[in-house]
Amino acid sequence: MRKFFRLSTILACVLAVSSIARGQGQPTPSNPWIHVTRVDVQPGAVAEFEDYIKKIQAGRAKLGLPNPVTTYQTVMGGNTYHYEFVLPFVTWNEMDANPSIASIVTKAYGEVEGAKILKAGRSTIQAVTVEVYRVRLDLSTNVKAGAPPDPFVTLTVTEHHGETLPDYIRLLGKIKKAEEQDPSNPTVLRYVLNLGEGSVTVAARGSKTLAERTTFPNQAQILTKVYGEADARDMNELITKTIAKRSTVVLAYRPDLSSPGK
């Protein structure tokens, strides 16, 4: 069954931008990518799974792998045994050079111990899905490169009727322009699914606390203020027509299960 609890820091989401900047030691590209591994864990094996992830991240550090991996766990709006691992990259050559989990563990711990770690870790997992998103910085609001990860990320995940996705993306440009009329509006990072099922966009908003989510500005009110009632109404009607399904999930940043990269 299709799941709608996707990314990273993802997102994470709010932090793929700063992660890329730190990981690559170069200016952030206009529209980088994120590789998102979504994992559902056996409810009775959380401690064992997290130990497995810590060993993987320690292996990444031992091997000196450059790309950071930012880890999130669902806390509201979905399966709380769900984890997301966000790996940002700039070029596909980086993904060609990125080793598999099995390779990382085997090289870092040796064949015998690595095999034990892999067997124990894999037994804790119910399902794994891997997707790739384009980070649309050109459609994102008030981006602050280099900001540290927020403790929480709220993801609004929208599946679109396939033929309407270009219309929605054009509207996002107008939404960005309206939101950036006020520099105090929170950062919103926007993503478009590149490899995966369906026509999907994601909006990610970071927050220091769960309560801070109640202060997020109302998009419809912002559009009305900037474009007037008639134009805002037309835009909101078009947005509604593009949506096949929408969900919201809150993820918690897990620094203990993340890897900063080089």
Q: What is the pLDDT of residues 28-49, one digit of tens each?
A: 556 799 999 999 999 999 999 9
> With contact defined as beta carbons under 8 Å apart, do 204 and 191 qualify?
yes
What's the mean pLDDT in 4-28? 40
For the entire predicted model, the pTM comes to 0.87
Residue 82: both structure tokens together = 């769900």
Between CA 239 and CA 246 the distance in angstroms is: 12
Q: In terms of residues, how long is the chain?
A: 262
- Fold entry, domain 8-257: Alpha-Beta Plaits (3.30.70)
CB atoms within 10 A of CB 123: 12
pLDDT tens track for 70-123: 999 999 999 999 999 999 999 999 999 999 999 999 999 999 999 999 999 999
Helix (H) or strand (E) holding 241: helix 229-242
Closest listed residue to residue 70, CA positions, set 10, 4, 28, 14: 10
CA R_g for the chain: 19
Query: Three-class SS string for 1-62?
Result: CCCCCCCEEEHHHHCHHHHHHHHHCCCCCCCCEEEEEEEEECHHHHHHHHHHHHHHHHHHHH
